[in-house]
Amino acid sequence: MKKDDCIFCKIANGEIPSATLYEDERFRVILDLGPASKGHALILPKEHYPNLYELPDELAEKVILLAKKMIVKMTKALDCDGFNVVQNNGAPAGQTVFHFHMHLIPRYENDDAGFGWNTGELSEADKEDILAKMREID
C-alpha cells in the first residue's frame, strides 16, 4: 500500500525523480539528498511501512540481502574503506521520514562523517533488569 502524503512512497514509485542506483519490483535505492559521506544511499521499499516494527518478514529478509549486494558493489565503485548500515525507528532514534528506509553510508579513512554514539558502562543492575524483563516476554 502507498501513503498519499509520503514523500518516500512517491520517490520509491518514481512519481518524484531521484538519483537511482538500483531498482527492482519491491525496492528502489537512491542517493540521500543530505549525505553524511560521498555515496550515502537509502534503500526504500515501494510499499509504505513506517518502520522496522511494521515491515513484513518477507521484505525484512530481502532488505538485508539487498544491503549486502549494494555495499559490495558500491565499495568497488567508490573505493571506500568501510560502510555503516543504519536504520532508525522512531523520532527519539533519529527517524525523520516515517517510511521504512535503510541508510548505506560509505566510510573513508579519516572522513568526518562523525557517525557514532556516546558509550556508557553496563551496570550489574541494568544487566539483571534487562535479562529478567526479556525472559518475562518469552
Q: Which residues are catalytic?
A: 101
Where do we find the cell 559490495?
Answer: 72
48 is an interface residue for Zn ion by CB under 5 A: yes
Q: Which residue sits closest to ligand 5GP, CB atoms considered?
A: 34
Which CB atom, from 84 or from 88, has the smaller least distance to ligand 5GP?
A: 88
7 is an interface residue for ligand 5GP by CB under 6 A: yes
3 is an interface residue for Zn ion by CB under 5 A: yes
Residue 48 binds: one of ligand 5GP, Zn ion, none (C-beta under 5 to 8 A by kind): Zn ion
Q: What mask, x for binding ligand 5GP by CB under 6 A, covers residues 83 to 102?
A: -----x-----xxxx-----
CA distance 55 to 73: 25
Identify the residue among 14, 24, 33, 73 touching ligand 5GP (CB under 6 A).
33
Site size toward ligand 5GP, by CB under 6 A: 14
Closest separation in Å from C-beta 27 to ligand 5GP: 14
CA distance 15 to 108: 33
Name the site residues for ligand 5GP (rule: CB under 6 A): 7, 11, 18, 30-34, 42, 88, 94-97
